[in-house]
Amino acid sequence: MAKRSIVSDRVAKIGKSAIHEMTRLSRDVEDVAFLSWAKPTSGTPEHINAGAIEAIREGLCGGYSGNAGLPELRQEICRKLKRDNRIDADPSEILVTVGAIEGLSAAVMALIDPGDEVILPSPTYSTHVRQVVIASGKPVFAATIEDDGFVLDIDAIRAAITPKTRAILYCSPSNPTGTTFSEKQIRELAGVALEHDLAVITDEAYEYFTFDGHEHFSIGSIPEMRGRVISCYTFTKTYAMTGWRIGYLHADEELIPQITKAHIPLAICAPVVSQYAALAALKGPQECVGKFREHYRSMRDLMCERLDRLPGVFQYAKPSGSYLMFPRILLDEGRDSAAFCKKLLREARVSTTPGSAFGPTGEGHLRLSFCVTAEEIDKAFDRMEQYFG
Ligand SMILES: Cc1ncc(COP(=O)(O)O)c(C=O)c1O
């Protein structure tokens, strides 16, 4: 009799992460130019570190907090949601989570039964696909419109709906494309969700990083959407707090206890020291956020300028948000983006991420991160100019 694997089919069918694979391969390349990670390179601002250190000294961090998070943190989050997202929230509607990622996982777990379909405008963040698969749901990809800068294709979303569709999960500004979905499009998407009685889960990790007058819009601010939206946020990007693992979500007060049932077995509560750091982030000066935004905007401009000097190799849409972009590879060999990325790493010593990691419409592209220094971008593009030249 054939021996059955001890690993669940659900997990076994998840492929290796292309992002981690490129990181691993990059370690063997001396002096690599690294454009593979969507991770802030700046350190956490000092006043945030100080808030955490003070809480440790006061002996506040040794125990669990309530499952939903510290009351004073949830209060501050409500202020921020009102000010920046136009969401009127009560602290009872906030769940503090282990980064946006745990919030998203708990949200998907709370909404999705085995076989339920979740529509992902794609290319999409690879982790979202995995979250749906781990919940035994079925990811359904609805292509965005690349020629218009990867904007939502509302007709494609409508066409993807079946009787099994339960939710739409999207991130804006987008990882991997850098597109900020407009308020108009998000309102149209809300109309579709209302018409078909669907839930919406958002990943708003890059909410503060939009450029050229593009503004982030939260679907959770639309009053009619109350009760069907779970909005997920994080401190990771806004305040360069990747390692603190702290985020939160907002949903209406009937949904929160259900999502909390999924949150407890995943985390019990978010790390308490990080909750104090998050409190310091929200209560402290906000200049750091503007500084990060300005840095990313100027790195985006530099990357676009350098891409323009490589005619015939890539074609790109200028990102309106996040710190990522997703050029199409114009060369024949780019049809297999994973092979292309590995070759580029081996032969030009430039580390990028293959587009195939971001759903079927990602193939033939590369994801480039401009969350790096100008020197890193110049190093990578000097090498590519020589390599493709
Ligand atoms: C769209 C998106 N969501 C979430 C995350 C991670 O968020 P967190 O660190 O808050 O879990 C990332 C990190 O790259 C991301 O790109």
Q: Indicate whether residue 175 lines ligand 1 (CB < 6 A).
A: yes
d(CA 143, CA 145): 7
Specify the ligand 1 atom closest to the Cα of 235. 10
Pocket probe mutation, ligand 1, options 35, 98, 101, 266, max atoms within 8 Å of Cβ: 101
Reported CATH class of domain 9-43+287-388: alpha beta
**pTM exceeding the 0.75 threshold for the entire prediction:** yes
User: Phi and psi for 141 in degrees, rounded to 5?
Assistant: -90, 125
Q: Is the pLDDT of residue 1 over 80?
A: no
Q: Which long-range contacts (CB under 8 A, 24 or more apart) does 189-195 make?
A: 189/152, 189/154, 189/157, 189/219, 190/219, 190/222, 190/224, 190/225, 192/154, 192/157, 192/158, 192/161, 192/168, 193/168, 193/225, 193/228, 194/224, 194/225, 194/228
Q: For residue 38, name the pLDDT band (cuts at 50, 70, 90).
A: low
CATH T-level assignment (fold) for domain 46-283: Aspartate Aminotransferase; domain 2 (3.40.640)
- For the ranges 15-19, 214-218, 252-256, which has the lowest average pLDDT? 15-19
- For the ranges 4-13, 114-123, 319-328, which has the lowest average pLDDT? 4-13
Instruction: Locate CATH 3.40.640.10 in the chain.
Output: 46-283
Mean predicted confidence (pLDDT) in 105-127: 97
Instruction: Locate CATH 3.90.1150.10 in the chain.
Output: 9-43+287-388
The helix (H) or strand (E) run that includes residue 108 is helix 99-111
d(CA 301, CA 318): 9
The H helix count followed by the E strand count for the chain is 13, 14
Q: Indicate whether residue 125 lines ligand 1 (CB < 6 A).
A: yes
Give 127 Cα–ligand 1 centroid separation in angstroms.
9
- List pLDDT tens digits, range 259-312: 999 999 999 999 999 999 999 999 999 999 999 999 999 999 999 999 999 989
Q: Indicate whether residue 249 lines ligand 1 (CB < 6 A).
A: no
